């Protein structure tokens, strides 16, 4: 019974940020890297999330719309997922610093992102809805590499992480805990 409850909880947590993309199954041994196209045109208005040497630019309009999608009734899984995604978008928006000029992006430092904010950034990257700028070269990159890595060491032992790196970069600029058992 406890195992079933944990499996259900794990399944719900994993599916919460899988709105569009199909991830490998959670809770299994996996080491899969995907190359995902990134947005090439700057959205306006925008929110720029600054990592070490990478800036991820998201559409503020999309984030605000997602934050407003907050169903009153939670009778279906889709409603519960929409509620969680709404709260995550609202959490990210709460860390935004106003832009310095009218045509600039609002700013978020990666240190200010909590788990919810990182999940929103990851979802945007996985689904090709984010512009990614390599600040060391001063260029917008056409793709990112997303790695799904999970190790299962027993029935109640294991973990999985999702990392995102530049197309030619070794070191990921974003890492999110995917599953734990």
Give per-residue pLDDT as tens, 74-121.
888 888 888 888 899 999 999 888 887 777 899 998 888 889 999 999
Instruction: Express each pLDDT in 1-55 by its tens digit.
Output: 434 333 333 333 333 344 578 999 999 999 999 999 999 998 889 999 999 899 9
Residue 46: how many other CB atoms lie within 10 Å = 20
Residue 173 contacts by C-beta under 8 Å, 6 or more apart in sequence? 51, 52, 53, 54, 164, 165, 166
Token pair for residue 167? 């197309």
* Confidence at residue 56, expressed as pLDDT on a 0 to 100 scale: 96
Consecutive H or E run containing 56: strand 54-59
Q: Give the pLDDT of residue 27.
A: 93
* pLDDT of res. 76: 86
Give residue limits of the domains in the chain: 17-180
Higher pLDDT, 169 or 19: 169
Distances (CA, A) of 6 to 10, 13, 15, 66: 6, 10, 14, 28
Write the CA distances from 142 to 35, 46, 105, integer angstroms: 10, 18, 20
Strand partners, 165: 145
What is the torsion angle, in degrees rounded to the nearest 10, for the CA atoms of residue 83, residue 89, residue 95 and residue 99?
Answer: -150
Q: What is the pLDDT of residue 175?
A: 95
Q: What is the mean pLDDT of residues 131-148?
A: 96
Least confident of 94-108, 122-136, 151-165: 94-108
- In whole angstroms, give the CA distance from residue 114 to residue 22: 24
Handedness of CA 167, 15, 110, 48 (dihedral sign): positive
């Amino acid at each position: 019974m406890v195992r079933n409850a944990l499996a259900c909880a794990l399944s719900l947590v994993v599916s919460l940020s899988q709105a569009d993309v199909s991830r490998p199954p959670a809770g299994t041994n996996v080491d899969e890297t995907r190359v995902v196209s990134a947005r090439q045109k700057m959205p306006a208005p925008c929110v720029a999330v600054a990592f070490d040497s990478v800036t991820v630019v998201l559409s503020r309009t999309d984030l605000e719309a997602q934050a407003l999608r907050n169903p009153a009734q939670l009778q279906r899984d889709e409603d519960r997922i929409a509620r969680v995604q709404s709260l995550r978008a609202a959490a990210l928006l709460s860390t935004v610093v106003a832009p310095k000029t009218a045509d600039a992006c609002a700013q978020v430092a990666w240190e200010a992102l909590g788990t919810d904010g990182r999940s929103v950034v990851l979802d945007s990257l996985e689904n090709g809805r984010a512009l990614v700028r390599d600040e060391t070269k001063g260029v917008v990159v056409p793709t990112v590499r997303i790695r799904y890595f999970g190790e299962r060491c027993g029935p109640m032992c294991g973990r999985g992480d999702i990392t995102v790196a530049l197309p030619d970069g070794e070191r990921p600029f974003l890492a999110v805990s995917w599953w734990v058992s």
